[in-house]
Structure 1
Amino acid sequence: MNFYNKYILPKAINWACDQSSSRKQREKIIPLASGSVLEIGIGSGLNLPFYTSKVKTLTAIDPSKELWKRTQINIEKLPFDFKFIIASAENIPENDHSFDCVVITYTLCTIPNLKLAFSEIKRVLKPNGKLLFCEHGKAPEKGIQKYQNIINPFWKRIGGGCNLNRNIPALIEENGLTISKLETMYLAGWKPASYNYWGIAEVKIF
């Protein structure tokens, strides 16, 4: 790991994900979590203040130890059992059908192998379990999409693998989940990085 990835990138990611507009989005989706919960890509724990007493246990994974070290939350005071594991979405070290709910926020943009990640999400969810998601991605306007596509290769290199132009709803449904609730809007800020999708998805039952 080079100097940029170890010392600069974690600070930049934490700053970008902790803007007031992003906090408002977290406040919309995180309180819907309940029961046994898995959070994928917890980062520095920015979602933690928004979980409610409906959560019994929270297992959190992230491949970046450097980001997790930046947490300012006292996990001993959380109103539920908490466990952090260094792991990636493509290899979740938990048993099949372990969770009532999987939470993922501002993380789908960076996962290299989405097919494998969604396979793991479906594996660890209980029957009738839910995926709660809040992500930025492909904008609706052709002009913004064109700009996203042009700058995405450079953005991805400096942003820890972050992609600006992923079609979040399509990716979720292409990988075996059905979206039961979806909302979208631009957040304040730079348009190529500020179009948000958030909602609820469930495993398809054939």
Structure 2
Amino acid sequence: MGIYRDVILPKLCDLSMRNERLHPYRTRVIGAAEGRVLEIGSGSGLNLPFYRADVREILALEPDPALLAMARRVPHSEMPINFIEASAEAIPLDDNSVDTVVTTWTLCTIPGAATALAEMRRVLRPEGKLLFVEHGLSPDHGVRRWQDNLTPIWRRIGGGCHLNRPIRLMIEGAGFRIDRIETGYMRGPKPMTFMYEGSARPK
């Protein structure tokens, strides 16, 4: 689940494997988290240093045990972190039990993304929020055609990553109300870099 975010996207953006260009996204999205936070597809822990003092606890959900092992070695603040080896399609948490759900470059790879979003809504408190930054379907016809044509092979080489998922429609279709959304291309190949960044709440 964290392969695109942790490996492929940084490589596309910077051949030296540094990911400074993603830092502004992480700073804005993760910096808005508060309370008890569930991070979906936490991967190797790249987001952990970006959480602020408003966070009481982090629940880092990741299905890949190797990535979880890497995340446990990442330096971070003293806030409690519980690493959970599980899938987003079956989150092992009670209903209405978290204040914030964070997803960063993850929805593209989850096989059952609609089920995962329904699970995120289930575990969020009624006043909770979903914070997201994702890449997905472009509004430009020419780019969309490339995304559609590339996705079958890209899924095989990119850890299941879909280039053409309509992120906003997926979030709204799962019973969320978008509070804020910003879209646009970041630097890099356009089929891979159309970004959706924002927040949503359960309806």
Residue of 4, 7, 15 corresponding to 1:15: 7
Please tell me the residue identity of whatever aligns with 1:168: I
SS in 2 for 1:90: helix
Deviation at 1:14, TM superposition (A): 2.4
Query: What is the distance in 2 between the residues matched to 1:119 and 1:105?
Result: 17
Query: What is the distance in 1 between the residues matched to 2:185 and 2:52?
Result: 26
- Could you tell me which residue of structure 1 aligns to residue 46 of structure 2? 46
Q: How does 1:1-206 map to 2 (within 5 A)?
A: 14-18=6-10, 19-71=19-71, 72-74=73-75, 77-204=76-203
Contact 2:127 2:201 in 1 (8 A): yes
Q: How many correspondences in the alignment? A: 193
- Could you tell me which residue of structure 1 aligns to residue 16 of structure 2? none
Please tell me the residue identity of whatever aligns with 2:22: S
Query: What is the distance in 1 between the residues matched to 2:119 and 2:33?
Result: 19
RMSD between aligned residues: 1.6
- C-alpha change, 1:53 and 1:17, in structure 2 (3 Å) is farther
Calculate percent identity across the aligned residue pairs: 44
Query: What is the distance in 2 between the residues matched to 1:127 and 1:121?
Result: 12
Scaled by the length of structure 2, the TM-score of the pair is: 0.90
SS in 1 for 2:155: helix
SS in 1 for 2:61: strand
Deviation at 1:28, TM superposition (A): 1.5
Deviation at 1:126, TM superposition (A): 0.7
Query: What is the distance in 1 between the residues matched to 2:37 and 2:6?
Result: 22
Please tell me the residue identity of whatever aligns with 2:195: N
Scaled by the length of structure 1, the TM-score of the pair is: 0.89
Query: What is the distance in 1 between the residues matched to 2:158 and 2:177?
Result: 29
SS in 2 for 1:69: helix
Cα shift readout 1:18-75 (whole Å, capped 9, x = no counterpart): 422222211111100000100000001111111000000010101111223333513x
Query: What is the distance in 2 between the residues matched to 1:191 and 1:16?
Result: 14
